[in-house]
Structure 1
Amino acid sequence: MTAIPRARADACPGALQTHAAADGALARVRVPGGALTVAQLRVLAAAARELGDGALELTSRGNVQLRGLRPGAEPELGDRLAAAGLLPSATHETARNVLASVLSGRAGGLLDVRPWVPAFDAALCADPALAELPGRFLAAFDDGRGDVAGQAPDVGLLALDAGTVALLLAGADTGLRAAPGDAVALALAATRAFVSERAAQGGTAWRVAELTEGPARIAAALDAPTGPLVDVPAPPRTGPAGAVRQDDGRTAVVAVVPLGRLTAEQAGLLADTAPAGLQLTPWRSVVVPDLPDASAADVLAAAGLVLDAGSPWLQVTACAGRPGCAKSLADVRTDAASAVAAGTLPAGGARQHWAGCERRCGRPSGEVVDVVATGAGYRVGGTGRG
């Protein structure tokens, strides 16, 4: 594996370091593990309504974006986020990309990975050296169900049984193992080793896979027991939708957000519905757990959220398109929504990503058909892995 040189520094937007889009500034708020309190969701909804374009965008890493921010809104947004606990470190905020198994500790899985997320995040923010992590760096904690391990994380933890956790690097098993109580420390050691190896190789790589022999060199720097290599599960084609029965008998309702655009009003309804907290997922959906029954599903569906696991909306993603992106050749979101409504999705309705240009921003992992605007219609490409 040979290093991929980068001609420019990583410019991933954050909550403070915004991106100048065609429709105004864009801020990305990291939400480790997708875990939000009700109060935090209300703060985000109010910020979208009062500082932005009135909606929240859910990303494939379980984060949240605010678009169309008015000029000079960044300081106020930062103050609001910090007060809500959504900005624990101004120096590390773009590096806090952490996925966690959906419904871990509530339904399925070999163990509960929820405690790993705040422990990893707090240690990351407390280490000045880890402020050097690129904004593309991704950690993923999988409880054994295989839902996030296949998202090609730079550093990942995959439960193999109730007492054994595998360390993943660049989405593949390293053979290094840890007990659940030692897993976060191993992930942090691997993260620090990535920063060190990245610096040794010129400091331009965004991902572990871009380093020359990155996984092997990082693994060699770590001290951990070993075990036989295992295959990492491929990412599921879609996430869950609708009512899910929890192990404790209560119900979780998973609401898919079409094209990831959640209006402030829908966010407020989700906050009203949730008993305590919510979880954002890599499939641009929101989990409302610990409900007494599934009655909330009808209310959320009436507000435009998708609770049907067979809906075509579970197969369609899109970039921002026009007018939000100056590089886009089409209003891809409107066009994709029209195709869903008319039942005319291309490629037989297969999992697909609509993109306004060849960059294909926001393309999810796994097998995806590209639907790319050309200026003279759309080119429907073959199926490829993201």
Structure 2
Amino acid sequence: MARDERIETDIAGEAAQPYARRGACPTLAQPMPTGDGLLARLRPQGGIPTVDQCAQLAHAALLCGNGLLEITARGSLQIRGLRPETVDPFAEAVDAAGIIVSPNPVIELPPLHGEAFGDVADAAAMELLLRERLAKHLQAPGLAPKLSIIVDGGGHFDLADVTADIRLLAISAEEWMVAIAGDGAGARPVAVGTADRAIAAVGDLLKLLLSIGWQKRCRDVDPERLVSVFPDMHAISRQPRAGETPSVGIHAMEDGTAVIGLKPRFGQIHANDLLEFLAFLGDLDVTDIRPAPDRCLFITGLSEESAAAVWQSAERFGLSADSDDLSSRIATCAGAGACASSFYATKALAEAVIERCPEVLDGSLDLHLSGCAKGCAHPRPAFTVSGAANGYNLVLDGLASDAPDAQIAGSDINSAIERLSRLIKSERQAGESARACLDRVGTATITRALRQE
């Protein structure tokens, strides 16, 4: 089959494939089975739901799910505990709220995008143009389920820390740069030009991905093939970015308004708490909420006084505006009480770690508390405590499903946490991080300390 014929076959979805395309990603149309029911993930088109839309989403989560909402590491919204019979009513509620959820692949915008944040071009408009002009290619079954596209309007805030297959960066109101396979610093530029040229370049990239195989990513593209499609790419100089990744806390804007970044503790909030928070925001004339990567959300258009009021009140709604909040350094799943697969209450254990062993939360290592061996909350190696029928499995640098380095009885977990704290305090050298200390003392010493009576 010729190359162009193969591309068109993949785009049309006619190539015989033994499995479904989107099975790896929970969507509104295809929720994913979990221990607490079905999980749906959605990203509102444009990334800016209104306060009223968020309230309607929270009500739907209560009626159709178990009331738990999450913000993912990339800034999407997740609703937990749906049931087969409530999936359609939930989707209808989302539609009734006026929340437009585009099909995969996800197109991500910086949460603080728009003219008020210094954008030189309209990122939201570019998203719509991409979906309109490249709909046939974007919905091709051969694309990878997790293919990601970032559109950056060139403002003060960006997604430079977030990796993507395809990145579009506005250099000016008339010019865009297209780069692939990396974060803001490492992505490789392939095209520069008008909005039309940028959209055409994205289309060429999608065709190229479809031509090299089933569900390939931009990192899989052979350099020679890439140059054959973009012969002028080596002449493109990388554009320096002066933007920053927005963080939790209060940000003063040039127009005199303020923005506050918040995090739900452990990335999860109950719909009742969210509804109370939204009612509180309603009294401050807030109009929209912007979910963001790293499990954050941003409230915009505040006065300095209103931003201070949100800061002071966030904790009672299960939110934090403190960049040093240790809860943000622990990855936890839903846990027992919310997930039938979990053997322990992960949030309670996280609070115990914060209280009894803050030394391990200096930011030098990833700490993952998983209720079972599936490891839903953190699919990468970490300092992992995984729940089991007979207690807890500790994996010092691995996945929840890996063979444990130590096993801890259920009744001994708090004492084990305290012993770990004492070990780090006694062994850590001046200027040494918790990770460096644990790496140096080694697995045998750590497991022996945890097993001491």
Common fold: TM-score over 0.5: yes
How far residue 50 of structure 1 moved from its aligned partner, in angstroms, is: 0.8
Q: Which residue of 1 aligns with 2:408?
A: none
Q: Which residue of 2 aligns with 1:140?
A: 150
Query: What's the Cα RMSD here?
Result: 3.7
Q: Distance in 2 between matches of 1:225 and 1:149?
A: 21
Give secondary structure in 2 for the equivalent of 1:290: strand
Q: 1:242 to 1:279 in 2, by over 3 A?
A: same
How far residue 277 of structure 1 moved from its aligned partner, in angstroms, is: 1.8
Q: CA contact under 8 A between 1:130 and 1:195: conserved in structure 2? A: no
Q: 1:131 to 1:270 in 2, by over 3 A?
A: farther
1:334 to 348, 353, 356: 348
1:244 to 234, 246, 251: 251
Q: Which residue of 1 aligns with 2:107?
A: 98
Max radius of gyration: which structure? 2
Q: Which residue of 2 aligns with 1:3?
A: none
Q: Which residue of 1 aligns with 2:95?
A: 82
Q: CA contact under 8 A between 2:265 and 2:319: conserved in structure 1? A: yes
How far residue 363 of structure 1 moved from its aligned partner, in angstroms, is: 3.6
Letter in 1 for 2:78: Q
2:49 to 5, 28, 36: 36
Please say if 1:175 is aligned against 2:186. no
Q: CA contact under 8 A between 1:318 and 1:354: conserved in structure 2? A: yes
Q: Which residue of 2 aligns with 1:291?
A: 302
> Which structure is richer in relative contact order (CA contacts within 8 A, separation 6 or more)?
1
Q: Which residue of 1 aligns with 2:394?
A: 378
> What are the residue-to-residue correspondences of 1:178-327 with 2, within 5 Å?
178-179=192-193, 181-182=195-196, 185-186=199-200, 188-190=202-204, 192-197=206-211, 200-201=212-213, 203-205=214-216, 207-209=217-219, 211-213=220-222, 217-218=225-226, 220-222=228-230, 227-230=235-238, 240-272=247-279, 273=281, 275-293=286-304, 294=307, 295-322=309-336
Give me the identity figure in percent.
24
Render the CA deviation track for 1:127-154: whole Å, top value 9, x for unaligned. 3662534331111123366842342201
1:50 to 63, 84, 88: 63
Q: CA contact under 8 A between 1:34 and 1:280: conserved in structure 2? A: yes
Residues matched between the structures, number: 363
Give secondary structure in 2 for the equivalent of 1:175: strand
How far residue 109 of structure 1 moved from its aligned partner, in angstroms, is: 6.4
Q: 1:26 to 1:32 in 2, by over 3 A?
A: same
**TM-score, structure 2 normalization:** 0.68
Structure 1: 5+ residue stretches without partners: 1-5
Q: Distance in 2 between matches of 1:84 and 1:99?
A: 21
Q: 1:67 to 1:161 in 2, by over 3 A?
A: same
Give secondary structure in 2 for the equivalent of 1:127: helix
**TM-score, structure 1 normalization:** 0.78
Q: Which residue of 2 aligns with 1:13?
A: 26
Give secondary structure in 2 for the equivalent of 1:248: coil
Letter in 2 for 1:193: K
Q: 1:36 to 1:379 in 2, by over 3 A?
A: same
Q: Name the structure where helix makes up a greater proportion of residues.
A: 2
Letter in 1 for 2:311: A
Q: 1:25 to 1:181 in 2, by over 3 A?
A: same
